[in-house]
Amino acid sequence: MNGTDTTLLDIRDRFPCLEQQVHGKRLAYLDSAATALKPACVIDAVTQHYTQESANIHRGVHHLSEKATASFEAARETVRAHLNAAHTHEIIFTSGTTDSINLVAQAFGQLEIGKGDEILITEMEHHSNIVPWQLLRERSGAVLRVAPISDDGDVDREAFRASLNERTKLVAFTAVSNALGTVNPVAEMAAEAHAAGASVLVDAAQGVPVQPMDVQALDCDFLAFSGHKVFGPTGIGVLYGKEGLLEAMPPVKGGGDMILSVTFEKTTYNALPYTFEAGTAHIAGAIGLGRALEFVSELGYAAIETHEAAILADAFEALQAIEGVRLVGTPSRRKGIISFLVDEIHPHDLGTILDQEGVAIRAGHHCAQPVMAHFGVPATARASFSLYNNHDDIDQLVAAIQKAQEIFG
Amino acid sequence: MNVSDDLYQEIILDHSRSPRHYGCPLNHTHCAAGRNPLCGDEYQVYLTLDEDGVIRDASFEGAGCAISKASTSLMLEQLIGKHHEQARALFETFHDMVTNPGGDHDTKVLGKLAAFSGIWKFPSRVKCAILCWHAVRNALDGKTTASTE
């Protein structure tokens, strides 16, 4: 493998899922943008919680509950450090990116957004960064604006700037496109939004797995990501919010843990971050996520980025060399993801044939139908790469595509 | 399991490349859409029934994967000339074949549609094979949209 850091030499051994065969073939897992595989250390951390400290948190006086609470809150601190947030209470555990964005749409929406106010998103957003704002539009009478993308798959920055005005209250955009792999200049776009007086939400679901997301350096007001795309468990995610905004926002879910006292006349809410964490949290998930982020930090983003850039470049070259393969989107900066089409083969047929060859890709609209509409296709095939992928995976992908071409030839 | 034997048999590839009864007719008595929002497959199926309830003509248009396109093409070949009650019975037989491998299917009734007998081995593709069957049944029932997910 070219450009591979020695840090990642034996990395595949740390992912038990890669040990299996699929349909009698070596597994080439090229669907990490859908969900990343889990390293043994994360699986062990979750198992450790359930076997050694299975208890509810923040309420028990017994030993197991104290241990579980300490592990859960340590995970929160790990997330804080990972994002370089100023305060640990700016880290709210949610069920995932979608839940985080919906929380902002509800709470920030109630706080800040009224009739005629504007929310700006981009054409490359995942449905989970479109639909919550449409629901908010229905509730509030706000206007939802969309900054278009170019035919390369980059945000049209001029149109983005032109869409900002004094009515813009929130700008929500992705750090990395899940359909095209486009890397957005988050800090620049955030600065432009702030200059117009708007708050900024960054969808970092695809960002956190592949690059540092320093919330203070990026100066975003909110950042959302999911545990399962960054080697952690499903069902756990994070909303980062700036302290001042979170403190001003009303709670949107009521229940246990988010209160200090309850009478039928009046309830006093708990302080941050618990205001937004009603009910028993996904404790094992949070602990697993904390371990996953430690795993990423142990390897270091520098090594991950070097490895992934080399794999992506090889994959890009290999796919372009196959006659009849067309890449969808040629963004100026790309990470981890390539969308493509094979002439005369529908992505779903391609996905089925690749699966028979042990190659796992995604085929479909990737929950980004506006992106598909932009490129005039109902669906694409998507290969996404992570730190455990190597050149054998690319060879296997190429051979499987050629097999599909033979079948359909 | 082998994709060429169990899924992409020559007859299926042939009907996906050159679908029969393809296009929008000038007249029809029944029509319905077949949509799979997850895949993006989208078809329109048109039927012309005579006063005795016999399907005299049928056609379709739209876009989707090879399985959904070939299944629709082969289905319409079989349905033309059949009474709508026979069409409904064939739906049941086909549905049973693609979802219940242990069933006792009358392959003689299914004819060329037997090419789909191995699709149960690909659970995520069963919905592709039955998408437009649902559309035909809905069209006969007077509904306008069928959806499989």
CA distances from A263 to A259, A267, A269, A272, A330 (A): 11, 6, 12, 21, 58
Count interface pairs A-B at CB distance under 8 A: 47
Q: Are A108 and A90 in contact (CB under 8 A)?
A: no
Q: Write out the two tokens for A141.
A: 């009478």
Least confident piece of the model among A94-103, A287-296, A383-392, B103-112: B103-112
**Where residue B143 falls among pLDDT bands split at 50, 70, 90?**
confident
Q: Answer yes or no: do B38 and A346 touch at CB < 8 A.
A: no
CA–centroid distance for A376 within its chain: 25
Task: Report the C-alpha gap between B138 and B46 in whole angstroms.
Answer: 11
Three-state SS at A371: helix
Q: How confident is the model at residue A1 (pLDDT cuts 50, 70, 90)?
A: very low
**CATH label of the domain that carries residue B57:** 3.90.1010.10
Q: What is the per-residue pLDDT across A67-76, written as a single tens digit (0 to 9) for each?
A: 999 999 999 9
Does the N-terminal peptide bond of residue A273 adopt cis geometry, omega within 30 degrees of 0?
Answer: yes
Minimal Cα–Cα distance from B85 to chain A, Å?
33
Selecting from B2, B17, B122 the residue whose C-beta is nearest the C-beta of A352 gives B122
Query: For all residues of chain B together, what is the average pLDDT?
Result: 91
CB contact under 8 A, B8 and A349: yes
ipTM of predicted assembly, 2 dp: 0.90
pLDDT at position A156 over 60? yes
Taking residues A26-44, report their average pLDDT: 98
Arithmetic mean of pLDDT, A285-298: 98
Rounded distance, CA B49 to CA B76, Å?
Answer: 13
Give the mean pLDDT of B44-50: 96
Least confident of A223-227, A254-258, A368-372, B8-12: A254-258
Nearest to A379 by CA among A335, A349, A334, A336: A349
Task: Report pTM.
Answer: 0.94
Q: Chain B closest CA to A352's CA: distance in Å? A: 8
pLDDT, one tens digit per residue, over A108-133 is 999 999 999 999 999 999 999 999 99
Residue A135 has what pLDDT? 98
Q: Is the pLDDT of residue B131 over 90?
A: yes
Domains contained in chain B, number: 1
What does the block give as tokens for B79?
């349905």
pLDDT at A409: 86
Is the Cβ pair A348, B3 closer than 8 Å?
A: no
Would you state the pLDDT for residue A6?
A: 67
A157 versus A7: the higher-pLDDT residue is: A157
Per-residue pLDDT at A282 exceeds 70: yes
pLDDT, mean of residues B95-116: 86
Burial of B143 (0-12, 13-18, 19+ CB in 10 A): middle
Q: Is A162 left (phi over 0), alpha (psi -120 to 50) or beta?
A: alpha
Task: Mark whether A220 is an active-site residue.
Answer: no
Range of the domain at B35: 3-147
Task: Please give the radius of gyration of chain A, using alpha carbons only, rounded to the nearest integer.
Answer: 22
For A78-95, write each residue's pLDDT tens digit. Answer: 999 999 999 999 999 999
Closest in A344, A352, A378 to B7, CB measured: A352
| Among A329, A314, A304, CA closest to A394 | A314
Count other C-beta atoms under 10 Å from residue B28's C-beta.
17
Residues of A in Cβ contact (< 8 Å) with B8: 349, 353, 407-408
**A365 contacts B122? CB cut-off 8 A:** no
Q: Which domains, from first to last, does chain A contain?
A: 6-30+301-408 (3.90.1150.10), 43-298 (3.40.640.10)
Q: What is the arithmetic mean of pLDDT over A330-354? A: 96
Give yes or no for residue A3 having a pLDDT over 50: no
Reported as a single tens digit per residue, the pLDDT across A351-385 is 999 999 999 999 988 999 999 999 999 899 999 99
